Each structure stands twice: as C-alpha cells, then as structure tokens.
Amino acid sequence: MSYSRFVALFACLAVCGQMKAQGGVISFVKKVGTFIDSMSVRGVDRRYIEAPERPWQLLLKGNLSQSVVSMKSSGELLGERYDAHSKLKTVPSQYVGVWAGYRGYGLGYTVNIGGDKGSNFTIGATGGRYGVHVRFHSFDNSNPNLNLSSSQITEQDREELAKARLVDPVHVNTVIADGYYMFNGKKFSYAAAYDQSVIQKRSAGSLMVGAMYNYTHINYAADTNADLIYLMKGIGRVKLWQGSVGVGYAYNWVPARGLLINALGMPMLTFVNKLKVYSYETNIPEMMKEPIFWDDTVSYEEWDEWYYATAHITPKGEQSFNSGLSIGFDARLSLTYNVGRYFFNIYGQFNNIRYNHHDTKGYLNDWFVNTSIGLRL
C-alpha cells in the first residue's frame, strides 16, 4: 500500500471513529432527554398535569430580598437600668439573571444590581412530588439603628447613636434550606407552581411533609465595637442552628385556563434549636471613669479619636445552649400564568429565626420575592 493510500485510510478511520463517538454522545443525550421526559409525566393523571411539547426553558429572573437582624439587651449602666435595641436592616437588594434548562433541570446565573451589595446564591431542584431549595446570603451592615433607653442618656445622645456608623461592620451569614415531599403526585404538581416545567390543568391539593434547616452567624467582635458588645452583655458573636420537620398541605388552584395560584402551609416542630454565644471582656467600664467620656464640651471628632485609640476587647469564652422543642410555621405563595410558549411567575417566602440567652435576645427576619419571565423552546 502506498504512503498516500495509507494516509487516506487512516484519515477515513479517524473520521469514522469521530462520527461514531459523536453519535454515541448524541445518542446518550437523547436517552437522557427521553428519561427526563418520561419522569415528568410518569404516574400522573394527564387530565390534571400536562408536560409542554417544547421541553427547553429560557428564563429571565429577578430577585428582591431583605434581611433584618434585631438584637435586644438590658442591664445596669452606672447603677441605672438600661434597655438597648440594635436593629440592622438592609436596603432591599435586587438581583437579575438568566436560567436555561430542560424540563426544569438546568443552570442559571444572577448578579447584584443594588441594595445591600452582599452575596446571594441559591440552589434548587424541583420535581412533581418534591422541591429542595438552599439559599446562601451574606451581608455587612455599618449603620445599625441603635436605640438606647436610660436615664444616663440624653435625647441628643440618642439622636447621635441613631446616626452612628461602625468602623468595623456587623457581618451576617445565613443558610436556609428546605425540602418538601407531596403525597398526591398523581394530580398535584409542585413543579407547576415553582419551576413551570409542567402545567397544572385542574385544581388539586396534596398532603405534604417537609424539613427545614437554618444557620445564622452574626459577628461584630472588634475593638471598635467594644461599646456595642458591652451593651449586649459581652456578647460579640452568635451562631444559631435550627432543624425542623412538619406536616402540612399545599393546593394548586386553577381559576382560569393558564392561571395557577399555589398556597403552601406547614406547621413545623423545631427539634434542633442550638445557640452558641461568644463572650468578650471590654474596657468600657474603665473608660467610663475617664472625664472625657462624659465631657459634653468635647467634639464628637475628638471623642471618636480617643475612643478608637483606647477601646479594646478580649475573648472571654464561649457557651452553647439548647432551647428545646418549639413550634413554627412555614408558608409560601406562588402565582403562575402560562400563555402559549411564554409563562410568568412570582413567588415569595418569609423566614423568622429567633434566639434567647439570659437578658439578651434577638431574631433574624429574611424574606425574598422571585419573579421570572420564561420562554419554552
């Protein structure tokens, strides 16, 4: 065989092998698609649930969210009782992004365009009978609304405290994960309300079970926050873990063709309710004995310079507590409208997490509203 024929044969075999490999990949992708198609309608009553003919989804998504951290404490200040309430309220943050997938399975990306400038990352998986969502949110706040009530504090002092900004901000990190399982997957679809991979044609409801996990870390342990730590009875960091399970009900109401309204409600029993506090010693009591601390003739600039050069904290220790069983409630609402190849959706969720330790207590309120405009391909 000549050299040229050998090269031609080798090239032919290479091309054939490449075509075979590509064909294998294409065949595998088609098999996966067929499997997902069958899963989306397996065991369902097609009078109630319909899988759209066009399986691909392209979505433009928007998210509006806000977090509020409230910390309260009481004690004595120079022999007088005081009540301190610090509230960190983020500016509602806005995220926009895109998502693409097949029958509800896909990838998306969002960016922050305004608000608290924190980070927000979500993971979700939704099927006809189940839904799993995990949300990671972190933010900093340098302007807590501090309300201090004491006979030692003048009205002018309270006004200045309300406008004060922290040199070292309060850092907040949260993880909220929830999962649901619906028993009436034959007529009721969770996916129809929350990822629109199928369409609910008739009204139906389902008994459900669910679980939720919350983790919150609030950290303001810094020398420049010694006064805030002192008012919070020496607590500079708080970690919370909560695990809950519940039984509830979800209902898909179809008042008109293409329109779906979903309501989900579930009482929850919190069986993991752990609180870990980190305590710090401060030199604020010693600083309060200095004449400059109470001298009204000193400017705020001079006072701040003295304070930041003098104040310091020292780690004292950490303690963990279990608050025992408690009852809560989980709720979610969704509205979806399907018209031809297009669909529109808006849904919201609210979470409340509380802690209590002696004379110090607080809570985290975290809510979000998701909107999306989608096209089926």
240: tokens are 């919370």
**How much is the average pLDDT of 67-77?**
69
Task: Give 34's pLDDT tier (boundaries 50, 70, 90).
Answer: low
Ramachandran bin of 7, using left for φ above 0, alpha for ψ from -120 to 50, beta for the remaining angles: alpha
Report DSSP letters for 192-214, one per residue: HHHT-SSEE-S-EEEEEEEEEEE
Q: Is the pLDDT of residue 244 over 60?
A: yes
Task: Give 136's pLDDT tier (boundaries 50, 70, 90).
Answer: confident
- pLDDT number for residue 40: 52
The SS3 assignment for 10 reads helix
- pLDDT number for residue 143: 73
**How much is the average pLDDT of 247-256?**
96
Report the Cα 25 to chain-centroid distance in Å. Answer: 37
Contact yes or no for 100/106 (Cβ under 8 A): yes
Task: Give 333's pLDDT tier (boundaries 50, 70, 90).
Answer: very high
Q: Is the pLDDT of residue 257 over 60?
A: yes
Report the Cα 36 to chain-centroid distance in Å. Answer: 29
Task: Give 8's pLDDT tier (boundaries 50, 70, 90).
Answer: very low
Strand pairing report for 259-282 and 204-219: unpaired
132: tokens are 């799993």
Q: Is the pLDDT of residue 154 over 80?
A: no
Sign for the CA dihedral angle at 205, 210, 213, 214 comes to positive
Backbone angles phi, psi at 208, to 5 degrees: -145, 160
Report DSSP letters for 272-287, one per residue: EEEEEEEEEEESHHHH
H or E stretch at 236: strand 235-256
41: tokens are 């309608």
242: tokens are 């909560």
> Per mean pLDDT, which of 15-29, 59-73, 76-90, 291-305 is the most reliable?
291-305
Q: Tell me how far apart the alpha carbons of residues 300 and 133 are, in angstroms, rounded to a whole number.
A: 47
Reference 82, options 227, 209, 187, 195; nearest CA is 227
CA distances from residue 59 to 40, 100, 200 in whole angstroms, order as listed: 19, 6, 19
List, in order, residues 6 or more apart from 212 with CB less than 8 Å away: 176, 177, 178, 179, 242, 243, 244, 245, 246, 268, 330
- pLDDT number for residue 17: 58
Contact yes or no for 354/362 (Cβ under 8 A): yes
- pLDDT number for residue 58: 92
- pLDDT number for residue 260: 97
- pLDDT number for residue 183: 95
- pLDDT number for residue 9: 45
pLDDT, greater one: 326 or 257: 257
pTM for the whole structure:
0.74
- pLDDT number for residue 339: 93
Ramachandran bin of 292, using left for φ above 0, alpha for ψ from -120 to 50, beta for the remaining angles: alpha
Model pLDDT for residues 261-290, shown as the tens digit of each residue? 999 988 888 888 888 889 999 999 899 888
- Give the end-to-end CA distance of the chain in Å, rounded to a whole number: 52
Model pLDDT for residues 158-209, shown as the tens digit of each residue? 565 556 678 888 888 889 898 999 999 999 999 899 888 889 999 999 999 9
Q: Is the pLDDT of residue 16 over 70?
A: no
